[in-house]
Structure 1
Amino acid sequence: MTVEQRRHLATEIPGPESRKRLELKRTWVADGVGTVLPVFVVEAGGGVLVDVDGNSLIDLGSGIAVTTVGNAAPAVVRRITEQAQAFTHTCFMVTPYDGYVDVCAALAELTPGDHAKKSALFNSGAEAVENAVKIARRATGRTGVAVFDHGYHGRTNLTMAMTAKAMPYKHGFGPFAGEIHRAPVSYPLRDGLSGAAAAERAIDVLEKQVGADQLACVVIEPIQGEGGFVVPASGFLPAIEQWCRERGVLFVADEIQTGFCRTGDWFACEDEGLVPDLVATAKGIAGGMPLAAVTGRAEVMDAVHVGGLGGTYGGNPVACAAALGAIEAMRSLDLVARAREVGSLMERRLRAIAADHPVVAEVRGRGAMQAVELCRPGSTEPDPARTAAVSSYCHSQGVVTLTCGTWGNVLRFLPPLVIGDALLEEGLEVVAEAMTATR
């Protein structure tokens, strides 16, 4: 690891060189492409980002759960370099290559269930979700798609329709694809229901308002990402899965933010023994390179006619090489176990912060996917202003933090799993300072 693992502020955040480049961004980049922390990065590794002004920032976001194995991870860089020197593209649909097949084989091994599996590779999480729906519709002969409150699935037309939150993801972009039906999710802080009761409520909505015989699939994040790191009450997901089995509805797990060791298992579904019919993956799959996948029961995947799946860049050979390097690193470094260690450390520190700050309504998450929801003390009224202020303070002190949630009142923490304990502790200490400074 060549990047020194320390926080260092050489200038204010953003510094003068970053501000110059921000002017170029304003000139040449569409305003609709936002930026959370306006510093221009020139180097990154481990748990640190280095900007053009020489500031070293602690990374508690991993590029939104992407650089799980760290930036420029040696195994990823080595495999990318070897592949790029050999060839960078042929299009798998024209002339195939080993890397694509090897990634699919690894996915068959790693995803839940011991049934025969096949995969198709794409470029982004939204593509993976959209293709999972295509596959489910073709396999079942039905058209309906069930999704859940607070869910996020992407920015394409179909996945915007599937996403719950309007601003900024959907506002002004309609009309959207049809046959999308939304059910209430289990949100323990807000509904107070057991998993079984929350599932009964959701199933009742789907049975009465849609009809199981109209549904091709149920698509759900095992832990909701953009919706606020909402962890369903125990028993909710197994009950939904069982209902799907009984009704011939395919159960699709959107593991795009939760997959690849992030939650302390290879996939979040493993926590309650779920075996999805289809799994959509992206983000952490390839160490920062654009790659996504749909992995599922072989007979379901094979329901699609030849030529019905694919894309020019899907399963790009360099991205596949990166994925194989990332999986190599996850195995060799035992990042499943490391995610649990990171999660334990974060949960302990965040609960200590919560004890001192009644604005924290809940600490929740699993493994290295932790969050705090901020509400007016003594209530569940969201406090997005305080959340934004805390995050802004962290940024000014050289700590990369992210917010999320339907009301924008959740601080989420997704550090690279290779971050050192001392650096992680320091980053969370800044979060504690931010909570005090913004009272």
Structure 2
Amino acid sequence: MHATQGKIAGWFPVMYPIKHKKMTPARRRKLLLSYAPDWAITLLLAAAFYALDKVTGYRRQFSLDDSSLRYPHALHERVPNGPLYFIVFGIPIILMPLINFFTVRSWWDLHNSSLGLVLGLALTGATTQFIKITVGRPRPDIIDRCIPPPGATNSEFGLFDWTQCTQADDSLLNEGFRSFPSGHSSMSFAGLGFLAFYLAGKLHLFDTRGHAGKAWAALFPFCGAAMVAISRTMDYRHHWQDVIVGSAMGIIFSYFAYRQYYPPLDSEVAHRPYSPRIKDSDSHILPTHMSTANTTAYNPNPSFPPSNRYNNSPSPPPNPFLASNDGSGMANAGGYDTVRLGVDGTVPRPGPGSMEEVWKEGASSGFDGTVPRSRGTPSTDESSEGHSTAPLTAREQQQRQFLQQQPRSTSPQRQDEYSIPLRTPTQQSHPPQQPPQRYATQDAYDGIQ
């Protein structure tokens, strides 16, 4: 399928058209196998979720005079377990492939979204169940579940114990001590929350342009999750604290799972998943509008020494990172950084630092990698003429001796913010008039090696 600038051929246009690279079935199997540990851990967490549900947890003592525990037990819940599973898993797993079809149309995005959804639900479910059985907080309808004996009261120096309950159904009584946190709330915000983050990334919600339609579309899944959480207080299954904590857990775990496989929501490539763990040497390099993009396209072995890049020496070889779009996989980035995109236009995983940080670090370094002396503001070591009177270090003395041995020129040596060797007093009092010369990002990066 041929990708054009504005749309892609076919009945339905794609929001972010890219030219997909054809992948062999062998490589696709290799990529999927590299994520087998993720799927295995996710399935183990899901198994732990169901296993902990059968465990008899801790049962706290309670007071028969506590009005917050005397609500009636509702026989029919507004959101039973069956519909809950469809809401938190069925709806996202149906909508995300449709969103993928109309936005990026990528099988790798489909894989990452499915894995992230299942991971978020498994993490949330296992953690919620573990906290439930260890805390053992009574539900608001615990007294109605317990069915205390007629005339029962709290002990003289304590509270009422569950062993005095006359409830014959032990499973019903056991569920009465799993109020904190709310499982319906945490699971609903985990599933629908992941869908909300997925939508926000595909719509570029945080593109600093402020579209109300995008905001409503991305926040709508949260509204559905909130309705499920509120229904738990209407059924007297949970206290309001249980609902709030469970909702927060679902949001945190869903965002954690989303960020494992997708870039931040404010990224210029938020609609693309991270690249696979198995690198492809033939991946294309495409320009983006990112100002702080993490790039893997720098050359650690420059073809010319750093000392020739910051003076009047002959022009260096052409920068390989500004090659024209001649079908070789390199595109002219113009004023933008380049990001190496993986399979189906995926985004590289973050490295140790952004190119903007490298740029700033190179700007504060000299031509030999040293940090220049500060000349911005006068200090106690400077004379009234603005010249430094502080003693020079051994390195600066070597630099001055080197400059004195060079042929003198009538015009001062051109300086820039990336190469600031020691200046003579004449150059300090009469700085060059021409604007500083800016070098390519590759030169700035190589200057600090």
Tell me the TM-score normalised to structure 2 length: 0.22
Name the one with the larger helix percent. 2
- The structure showing larger relative contact order (alpha-carbon pairs under 8 Å, at least 6 residues apart) is 1
Structure (1 or 2) with the larger CA radius of gyration: 2
Name the one with the larger strand percent. 1
